[in-house]
Amino acid sequence: MVTVEFKWRREVPEDFIVKEVAEYPIVEDGRHYLYLLVKRNLTTKDLAKLLGFSYAGMKDKFALTFQFVSFERFVGEFEKQEIDSESWYVLKFIGRVQKKLKIGQLKGNKFFINLGGLEVRKREWFINYYDVQRISLNWKKGKTLIQKLFENPGRKLSWRENFLIDSYLSYLWNRSLELFLKERFDGYLIKEKEETFFIPNTDDCEPLPKFWTILGYKKKLLESKLYYEEILKEEGFELKEFLGLLRKLGIKGDYRMSYVLIRDFKKFDEYISFFLPKGSYATMCLKHLQKEENLKLYAYVILENHLHLIAQSDDIGKSMRHFKSFTAKAILKLLQKENTQTLLEQFRFYKKAHKTKAQYQLWQEGISPKLIQNEKMMIDRINYIHNNPVKRGYVDKAKHWILIEE
């Protein structure tokens, strides 16, 4: 099965803007005080601990976010506080409400995302997987904790332990639904960090169940049962015993939408905007929207000042332009992070004068494609590019050159 990399990256918090959508009735004699919180490069949880407010939803740290919060006291009409040069928050008083905000008391979120050159396709829905923010690194720790709790399930769990178990249950939700989808659809995998997600090649969501069970002792498994049994067996558990442990831990389970409709989608300049209901991930939406180049790579060799590729694409010129753009951004970002000024100065010097929006130029302009017409020519070309490091005297054998692949 084909695996592709998730290409979108946020460079600054303003690349990912989130506006919470909710309605809270304002009353003159309300016991709590409702505020709009705007924050940059800060977590909701850390600010809540610092300032003492309640909130309906957690918002990303590396983002510019707008959300409602409530205080038990009046803290002023307006406050702006700079934490450091990259982090700040603003509080603006809205009015009084009868009850404090609680987790989940919102309709959803409106997102404004800078694509940063990412090409997207039109799509009306996406599989509602939990994304890497929730599961990456955490699900394995949650699994280890579950294994230990089989020996001693009676003790009270900390907030952190509950979070890790939830992460593992989220991972199992993803895996079981993925297994269901792979039985019914062709598709591909998209990868971010160490996690992969199956994207079905279908525009029709009607055959999909509207909800998929999150494991717990109180919720019916319905059609997810067979898939959980298989996944848990791979993980080293039996479904019956696993549910028995969740009962001892007081984990009831829930139902999660298996797919989500993308509402109010708009594209303007480099940004897209859309609305998602609470609990859904905008980055997962982006994974489904990401347009693939259909570039198939057969062989390559990277030398000190150029590279050779043997590749296939419906539009090789377009695919190579995107390849050069994506790799240039990634390489320059690494060089800036490592403060490699000598190379950066060279790339700045060689930038073409007409490229007014760019600070550097890593790749030369243009490509020199040659059509491969038959199998013999393919073998000859692969041997030719792989022997380049040998001909230049860098290595004795092609296999000793690490920047080579076929």
Mean pLDDT value across residues 81-95: 97
Pull the structure tokens for residue 41.
Answer: 């490069």
- The confidence band for 406, taking pLDDT boundaries of 50, 70 and 90, is low
- For 4-34, letters b (16+ CB in 10 Å) and e give bebbbeeeebebbbbbbbeebeeeeebebbb
Helix, strand, or coil here: 239? helix
- The predicted model scores a pTM of 0.77
Handedness of CA 40, 44, 45, 48 (dihedral sign): positive
Pull the structure tokens for residue 69.
Answer: 């919060």
pLDDT at 351: 82
Cβ–Cβ under 8 Å, residues 203 and 192: no
Residues 283, 284, 289, 293, Cα dihedral to 10°: 90
Cβ–Cβ under 8 Å, residues 88 and 81: yes
Pull the structure tokens for residue 154.
Answer: 């009676």
Q: Is the per-residue pLDDT at 356 higher than 90?
A: no
- The rounded percent of the chain whose pLDDT value lies above 70 is 99
- The confidence band for 293, taking pLDDT boundaries of 50, 70 and 90, is low
pLDDT in tens, 210-230: 999 999 999 999 999 999 999
**Which residue pairs, CB below 8 angstroms and at least 24 apart, start in 334-343?**
none
Q: Is the per-residue pLDDT at 313 higher than 90?
A: no
For 298, which DSSP code? E
For the segment(s) 23-106, the CATH number from 3.30.70.120, 3.30.70.3160, 3.30.70.940, 3.40.50.970 is: 3.30.70.3160
Contacts of 319 (CB under 8 A, 6+ apart): 293, 294, 295, 311, 313
pLDDT at 404: 64
Cβ–Cβ under 8 Å, residues 189 and 174: no
pLDDT in tens, 122-140: 899 999 999 999 999 899 9
Beta bridge partners of 130: none
Out of 92-96, 154-158, 397-401, give the one with best mean pLDDT.
92-96
| C-alpha–C-alpha distance, residues 243 and 233, integer Å | 13
Residue 80 or 403, more confident: 80
pLDDT at 63: 98
pLDDT at 330: 80
Beta bridge partners of 2: none
Q: Is the per-residue pLDDT at 111 higher than 80?
A: yes
| C-alpha–C-alpha distance, residues 199 and 178, integer Å | 9
pLDDT at 19: 98
pLDDT at 43: 96
23-106 and 296-405 in the same fold:
yes
Cβ–Cβ under 8 Å, residues 285 and 262: yes
Give me the phi and psi of 287, to 5 degrees please: -60, -40
- 296-405: in CATH 3.30.70.1290: yes
| Average predicted confidence (pLDDT) for the chain | 92
Residue 305 or 80, more confident: 80
| C-alpha–C-alpha distance, residues 312 and 208, integer Å | 34
- The confidence band for 405, taking pLDDT boundaries of 50, 70 and 90, is low
Domain boundaries, the chain: 23-106, 125-260, 296-405
